Amino acid sequence: MSKTILIGSPNSGKSLLFNRLTGLNQKVANFPGITVNINSGKSLAQPSNEFLDFPGAYSLQTISGEEKIAVDAFYQALQDPEISSVVCVVDATRLEKGLIFALQVINACAEYQKPLIIAANMGDVLEQHNLSMDIAGLEQALGIPVVQISAKSGTGLDQLQDLAINHRQLPSPYTSDIIASDESVNHRQAQQLAEEYGPKGDLLINSQTRLDQFFLHSWFGGLSFLVIMYLLFQSIFTWAAPVMDGVESSLQFMAEIILPLLPEGVISDFTADALFGGIGAFLVFVPQIFVLTLVVGMLEDSGYLARAAVICHKPLRLFGLTGKSFIPMLSSVACAIPGIYAARTVDSPRKRWLTYLAIPLMPCSARLPVYSLLIAAFIPASNMFGGLIGWQGLAMFGIYVFGILCGLLVTALVSKTNKAMQSDLPFVLEMPPYRLPSWRPLLRNAWSRSKHFVTKAGKVIFLVTVVIWVLGYFPNQGASLGESWLGQMGQWIEPLFSPFGLDWKYGVAILTSFLAREVFVGTLGTLFGIEGGEENIISLAEHIQNSGLPIGAGFALLVFFSIALQCVSTLAVLRRETGSWRLPTQLFISYSLFAYAAAWLTFVIVQAIAG
Amino acid sequence: MTLWDLKQGTSAKVDSFVSTLESSYRTRLSELGFHPGELISCVLSPSLGAPKLYRVNNSVYSLDDSVARLIKVGSDEQAA
Ligand SMILES: Nc1nc2c(ncn2[C@@H]2O[C@H](COP(=O)(O)OP(=O)(O)OP(=O)(O)O)[C@@H](O)[C@H]2O)c(=O)[nH]1
Ligand SMILES: [Mg+2]
């Protein structure tokens, strides 16, 4: 087995290239510093060759802790006899920056005797703007093969693979006649090479600047930021709604066909309550996860995220964070796990730690089913301004803003009172180019994420649902939920949740949702299924409406779910990233107490207002 | 004069770094292109103290005041 390393400066397209070569699905986004772990995969074309996708680095002389890990791993790999070649990916539209790093890699490969190939990526962008670079000239100047590729369209990849496997000539250190101080010689050389062989003119950078002048404008910038964020939330509702309705009616349709075929009794009850009631209630929300991932992915690909980080920098600084915290926080809107990984792009250790505090409070997509359910039950589906703004979308926006505000409140409080790790890295962020999102990888990513959601959460939900159903159905065959085993246990926990107007069924659903939030919907669906008997297959939201749950309790539930840290995976990943159980334990306990107190307060206030 | 004082649409050459800047960060800024002798232009300077955009060769970076104030530039500004 031979192995090839893919290395290069951040955002040069290594991961997209890696995905192309291996058929895998690593995260790709138009923002520097996305890849944080080394990933490996077999080549599709040459299964005996393996590729390793490295995190991007600006330099082999490192300053931030994360980069150091990647660079150390690179040096270690250079000494590994299994590594047969190195591919250094440079962004041809920003050749100079890529070459500064590539020159360092040339020297390292010369020292450790590894063959090296330079891949000048983004060939499609050059072509599109009628630009070109002098590949042969650069090749000659550097004394190593240079291949023009496009990881997006796939051109040049065959040639690259061929060289990665067959090119065995070792590079020698690059020398030029530039004499300068040690620090800047590398830089001067790169500049000279880029000037001589790179694409001419500053067409690309000028058009980028024109867009920046709009998106970062003092007024239009802030305004467009708000509009984009608002559209993001509105899209979750309006785009996904027809699909969700479709899923719901096809489930009902299936239930109506299948249930009459089953013999009366336990089996038919189980199918109706646990399968259609419990798991079906959760499946309805998968389209929303899909849309959310898609829209966040579009933002990530467009290059807008880096601008949003710049816009948010000043306001976030008030809360002890930095503009770079915006990206992990936005990723957490899809799921806290990638958000925690993305926090590695926050280079200051103190700010990263503060970002970790905010992440569990970001409204993640596992909360979405719970929010949607409660909003559907309590907020009318009518529109304002001729359908432009829907009440339900507005309510969703409100609860999302609430979660984000809670997160900021916590970081502000902690950063004022806790002075640990005061030394800080300053804010320097490279502005990636603007690009039209490419649809295929985005759709693929949204699809795989939804699938992952269904299979992974689905397993937990299935197990919990079965257990809940058994406990709720026996010993009296579903005749009376209150007298079942579960009902008796429920009496014990009811006092815990009655302060905010919830009966034991909701209590059980909340407790089970500590495994994963979306379990709430499945549990509740099962319980209402048993209680309702088989004659009425109605949606869970209607069940809730019919049960006469006070509106204050609905709001209390919303508040509880937006604060409580009910996610085992978040705790585990936080442990891995921080190296101890300390932070996850502290967060779990304090956010549970905070959630409980806030839910109680909400119930009292809303009930008082609602009379 | 520091980089932060550079007006939108003008450029200047980097002179030196303020001595309080950590040496590791000095190296990094140099590698990004902010090193003595280099011509930097300010392409966008929003109001309200938001981070400004600076162009170095074919890349654009956003710097906030806490770091841009640590980079001294020559006072012979020129229109970019
Ligand atoms: N047009 C075009 N876009 C590309 C090409 N290669 C990569 N991209 C885009 O460039 C951006 C960065 O790609 P990634 O593969 O995430 O870059 P990376 O080098 O892995 O970045 P880090 O992991 O952050 O170091 C993404 O938006 C890609 O879609 C290309 O050949 N053409
Ligand atoms: Mg990557």
Residue numbers in B near A93 (CB within 8 A): 58
Given the structure tokens 């079906």, which residue do they identify? A280
What distance in Å separates residue A418's CA from the closest CA in chain B? 21
Residue A550's Cβ-count burial label (10 Å; 0-12, 13-18, 19+) is middle
Instruction: Check residue A323 and report its DSSP letter.
Output: G
Quick one: pLDDT band at residue A246, thresholds 50, 70, 90?
Answer: confident
Range A326-333, long-range pairs (CB < 8 A, 24+ positions): A327/A31, A328/A355, A328/A359, A329/A355, A329/A358, A329/A359, A329/A362, A329/A404, A329/A407, A330/A296, A330/A299, A330/A305, A331/A296, A332/A359, A332/A362, A332/A364, A333/A292, A333/A296, A333/A362, A333/A363, A333/A364, A333/A365, A333/A400
The rounded distance, in Å, linking the Cα atoms of A100 and A98 is: 6
> Could you report the per-residue pLDDT of A290-323, keeping only the tens digit for each?
887 888 888 888 999 899 999 999 999 999 999 9
pLDDT average, residue stretch A333-350: 82
The secondary element (H helix, E strand) that includes residue A494 is helix A485-497
Q: How do beta strands A49-53 and A39-42 pair?
A: antiparallel
Does domain A2-201 fall under CATH 3.40.50.300? My reply is yes
The rounded distance, in Å, linking the Cα atoms of A143 and A153 is: 27
CA A282 to mean position of chain CA atoms: 21
For residue A121, the ligand closest to its alpha carbon is 1
Residue A274: C-alpha distances to residues A371, A417, A462 (Å): 21, 48, 8
- Give the pLDDT score at B4: 92
What distance in Å separates residue A94's CA from the closest CA in chain B? 6
Print the SS3 string covering A123-171.
HHHHHHCCCCCCHHHHHHHHCCCEEECCCCCCCCHHHHHHHHHHCCCCC
The rounded distance, in Å, linking the Cα atoms of A470 and A467 is: 5
Closest CA to A394 of A374, A408, A375: A375
Q: Which of A259-263, A402-406, A573-577 has the lowest mean pLDDT?
A: A259-263
Whether residue A592 lies within 8 A of chain B, CB to CB, comes out as: no
pLDDT average, residue stretch A593-608: 94
Given the structure tokens 């690179």, which residue do they identify? A74
Residue A458 one-letter amino acid? G
The secondary element (H helix, E strand) that includes residue A121 is strand A116-121
Given the structure tokens 């590695």, which residue do they identify? A344
Q: Do A205 and B36 touch (CB under 8 A)?
A: no
- Between A296 and A153, name the one with better pLDDT: A153
The rounded distance, in Å, linking the Cα atoms of A468 and A478 is: 12
Q: Which of A68-82, A256-270, A352-366, A494-508 has the lowest mean pLDDT?
A: A256-270
- Give the pLDDT score at A155: 94
Residue A239 one-letter amino acid? W
Q: Report the percent of chain A where pLDDT is more than 90.
A: 37
The rounded distance, in Å, linking the Cα atoms of B25 and B4 is: 17
Q: B3-79 has which fold?
A: SH3 type barrels. (2.30.30)
Distance A56 CA to ligand 2 centre (A): 6
Q: How do beta strands A116-121 and A83-91 pair?
A: parallel
Q: Is the pLDDT of residue A593 over 90?
A: yes
Q: How far apart are the first and last CA of chain B?
A: 17
Residue A102 one-letter amino acid? A
Kindly give, in sequence order, each residue whose CB lies less than 8 Å from that of residue A407, ignoring residues fewer than 6 positions away.
A329, A357, A358, A359, A361, A362
* A306 close to ligand 1 (CB < 6 Angstrom): no
Print the SS3 string covering A30-86.
CCCCCCCCCEEEECCCCCCEEEEECCCCCCCCCCCHHHHHHHHHHHHHHCCCCEEEE
The rounded distance, in Å, linking the Cα atoms of A202 and A192 is: 16
| A vs B: CB pairs below 8 A | 121
- Give the pLDDT score at A373: 87
Q: Is the pLDDT of residue A387 over 80?
A: no
The rounded distance, in Å, linking the Cα atoms of A390 and A370 is: 19
Instruction: Check residue A433 and report its DSSP letter.
Output: P
The rounded distance, in Å, linking the Cα atoms of A359 and A353 is: 10
Task: Give the sheet arrangement for strand A146-148, strand by strand.
Answer: A39-42, A49-53, A2-8, A83-91, A116-121, A146-148
Given the structure tokens 């295929």, which residue do they identify? A440
Domain boundaries, chain A: 2-201, 447-610
Mean pLDDT of chain A: 86
The rounded distance, in Å, linking the Cα atoms of B19 and A202 is: 34
Closest CA to A500 of A556, A459, A445, A440: A556
- Give the pLDDT score at A284: 76
Which is the closest atom of ligand 1 to the Cα of A16? 15
Q: Which two tokens stand for residue B52?
A: 């400004």
What distance in Å separates residue B22's CA from the closest CA in chain A? 9
- Give the pLDDT score at A92: 94
For residue A12, the ligand closest to its alpha carbon is 1
Q: Is the pLDDT of residue A522 over 90?
A: no
Q: Which two tokens stand for residue A75?
A: 């040096």
Is there a contact between A383 and A307 (Cβ–Cβ < 8 Å)? no
Residue A112 one-letter amino acid? Y
Counted residue by residue, chain B has a size of: 80
Residue A239: C-alpha distances to residues A291, A438, A449, A467, A570 (Å): 7, 19, 18, 35, 28
The secondary element (H helix, E strand) that includes residue B13 is strand B10-17
The CA radius of gyration of chain B, in Å to the nearest whole number, is 11
Q: How do beta strands A116-121 and A146-148 pair?
A: parallel
Q: Is the pLDDT of residue A523 over 90?
A: no
Counted residue by residue, chain A has a size of: 611
> Could you report the per-residue pLDDT of A39-76, keeping only the tens digit for each?
999 999 888 999 999 999 888 887 666 678 889 999 99
Q: Which of A99-113, A257-271, A469-483, A484-498 has the lowest mean pLDDT?
A: A469-483
Residue numbers in A near B69 (CB within 8 A): none
Q: Do A430 and B60 touch (CB under 8 A)?
A: yes
Q: Do B58 and A58 touch (CB under 8 A)?
A: no
Q: Do A427 and B36 touch (CB under 8 A)?
A: no
Q: Do A428 and B61 touch (CB under 8 A)?
A: yes
The secondary element (H helix, E strand) that includes residue A445 is helix A439-452
Q: Strand locations in A240-293, DSSP E?
A: none
Please give the full DSSP string across B14-68, using - where no structure is assigned: EEEE-TTS-HHHHHHHHHHT--TT-EEEEEE--STTPPEEEEETTEEEEE-HHHH
Q: Strand locations in A265-403, DSSP E?
A: 383-384, 389-390
Q: How do beta strands A2-8 and A83-91 pair?
A: parallel
* A98 close to ligand 1 (CB < 6 Angstrom): no
Name the residues around ion ligand 2, CB cutoff 5 A: A 14-15, 34-35
Residue A139's Cβ-count burial label (10 Å; 0-12, 13-18, 19+) is middle
Quick one: pLDDT band at residue B76, thresholds 50, 70, 90?
Answer: low
Q: Which of A193-207, A434-448, A454-468 has the lowest mean pLDDT?
A: A454-468
Residue A516 β-bridge partners: A567
- Between A344 and A317, name the one with better pLDDT: A317
Give this prediction's pTM.
0.82
Kindly give, in sequence order, each residue whose CB lies less than 8 Å from that of residue A251, ignoring residues fewer than 6 positions away.
A276, A280, A283, A284
The rounded distance, in Å, linking the Cα atoms of A58 and A404 is: 32
Q: Which two tokens stand for residue A248?
A: 């719901």
Q: Scan residues 204-243 of A and list those with Cβ closer than 8 Å to B.
A: 204-205, 208-209, 212-213, 216-218, 221
